[in-house]
Structure 1
C-alpha cells in the first residue's frame, strides 16, 4: 500500500537521497534522460535537514521505502544552501502578473521524483495534490525550474497546472523554464 505523507524523520530524508541518486542526470544514459526524465541537483543529508527545518517535503512510501517525493523550499533555504542564492535572487527580476516573483508568498519545488518502477500510476499527480493541500493556505503559488530538455517533466508539470513564466540559459548552455502553479 502506498501512503502519501510529509517527511518526518532522518530515515525519510535518507530515502529521498537514495531515490535521488538513482535518477541523477549525470548517472543516466541519453535514452534514459530522454524517455524517463531526470533530476539535476544532488542534495546532501545536511541540505535536506536544513530545508526540512523550514518546511517538510511530500513523500510517497511503499512500506519503509520512499518511492516519490516533492521537496519544499522557502526563501529561508537560500541562506542555508549557498547554491540556491542565484535562483532566489533571479526572482527579483522575473515578473509574474506584473510583479516581481519575490513580491509574492511562494514555495519552491526543490525537486520532484518518482521511482521508475512506480511511474505511470498517477503518483506524480497524487504527490503534487498533497503538496498543494499542505502549502496552499500559506503560499500563493509553487514555483520551480525545469530544464527544457527534460520533456517528460515539462509535460507532467503542465498537465497538473504549471505554466512557464520565464526561460533562460545558464552558464553551461542549459535552457531552463521557470514554471508557476498558481493556487489562487
Structure 2
C-alpha cells in the first residue's frame, strides 16, 4: 500500500536522489525521455536536505521504498540552482507579489508505479501540507516534456508564462 507523507529521514532523501538519477536524461534513452518524461535538475543531498528542512518534500512510499516525490522549493532557494534562477525571475515578474507560492522543484514517479494515480496524489498531498500562508503551487516544465505538460494540465495546472533560455523553452504553470 502506498503511503503519502513528508520526507523526514536521511534514508528517504537518499531514495529521492536515487529515483532522480534513474530519470535524468543522461541515464535514459531519448525514446524513453519522449515517451515517459524526464527530470531536469540533479540535486545534492545537502541542498535537498536544506530544502526539506524549510518545507518537507512530499513522497510516496511503498514497502519502505520511495516510489514518487514532489520536491518543495521555498522561493528563498531561488538562487541555489542555476537552471532554476530564470524561472524564479520570470515568476516574480509575472505575479508581482500577488500570491504566496511554493515552487514544486521536481516531481517523479518510479516506472513501476506510473499510471496508478501517484502523480495526482503527490500534488494533492503537497497542497494539503503547504505551510501556513501558502496556497499556490508554481512550477515549470521543459517545453519538450509533453508527458509532464499533459499530466500537469490534467490535474488542474494552468499555463502562466512561456519563456526561453539558451536553447530551451520553459512553461511556467500554476495550481491554485
Structure 1 portions without partners, runs of 5+: none
Return the alpha-carbon distance in structure 1 between the equivalents of residues 143 and 90 of structure 2: 18
Cα drift, residue 132 of structure 1: 1.0
Aligned residues: 175
Does the Cα contact within 8 Å between 2:55 and 2:131 map onto a contact in 1?
no
Q: Secondary structure at the match of 2:75?
A: coil
2:62 maps to 62
The C-alpha deviation readout for 1:83-121, integer Å capped at 9, x for no partner, is: 2444323322224xxxx2x44200000000000110001
- Where does 1:100-115 land on structure 2 (aligned, <5 Å)? 100=96, 102-115=97-110
Does the Cα contact within 8 Å between 1:106 and 1:140 map onto a contact in 2?
yes
Return the alpha-carbon distance in structure 1 between the equivalents of residues 54 and 98 of structure 2: 19
Return the alpha-carbon distance in structure 1 between the equivalents of residues 172 and 125 of structure 2: 21
1:37 maps to 37
Does the Cα contact within 8 Å between 1:163 and 1:179 map onto a contact in 2?
yes
Return the alpha-carbon distance in structure 2 between the equivalents of residues 152 and 67 of structure 1: 18
Q: Secondary structure at the match of 2:41?
A: coil
Does the Cα contact within 8 Å between 2:69 and 2:107 map onto a contact in 1?
yes
Cα drift, residue 24 of structure 1: 0.4
- Where does 1:27-176 land on structure 2 (aligned, <5 Å)? 27-78=27-78, 81-83=80-82, 84-95=84-95, 100=96, 102-135=97-130, 137-171=132-166, 173-176=167-170
TM-score (normalizing by structure 2): 0.93
Return the alpha-carbon distance in structure 2 between the equivalents of residues 87 and 59 of structure 1: 23
Does the Cα contact within 8 Å between 1:68 and 1:112 map onto a contact in 2?
yes
Structure 2 portions without partners, runs of 5+: none
The C-alpha deviation readout for 1:16-49, integer Å capped at 9, x for no partner, is: 0000000002222111011100000000101101
The C-alpha deviation readout for 1:136-164, integer Å capped at 9, x for no partner, is: 75313100010111011001100111011
Does the Cα contact within 8 Å between 2:163 and 2:170 map onto a contact in 1?
yes
